[in-house]
């Protein structure tokens, strides 16, 4: 009888251990699944942000190229003439200026 009780306790203990281990494994699986979903969402957000930043980089590179071209233009005689005519009202000798009447 004592052997039967010991075997019964051992069997009951094994079942309890298996249920406990299964519960722990399920909980860990759920936590990992939730974290995986969160990480996937964050990766998508970061990829979107990276795409936005790449567009901004391209825009800024284009702007930098425009500035380099403008800098070259400002060092030409054409620019100097344009500024002299538009801002200072200067003209070449013998040049006639026509103005609109308002």
What does the pLDDT read at residue 22? 96
Burial of 85 (0-12, 13-18, 19+ CB in 10 A): middle
| Confidence grade of residue 94 (pLDDT, cut at 50, 70, 90) | confident
Prediction pTM value: 0.55
Q: What percent of the chain has pLDDT over 70?
A: 87
| 1-36 tens-digit pLDDT | 556 666 566 667 788 889 999 999 999 999 999 999
pLDDT > 90 fraction of the chain, expressed in percent and rounded = 61
């Amino acid at each position: 009888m004592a052997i039967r009780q010991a075997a019964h306790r051992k069997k009951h203990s094994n079942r309890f251990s298996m249920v406990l281990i299964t519960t722990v494994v399920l909980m860990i699986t759920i936590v990992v699944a939730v974290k995986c979903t969160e990480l996937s969402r964050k990766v998508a957000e970061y990829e979107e942000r990276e795409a936005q930043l790449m567009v901004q980089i391209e825009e800024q590179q284009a702007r930098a190229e425009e500035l380099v071209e403008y800098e070259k233009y400002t060092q030409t005689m054409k620019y100097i003439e344009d500024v002299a005519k538009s801002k200072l009202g200067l003209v070449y000798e013998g040049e006639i200026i026509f103005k609109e009447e308002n």
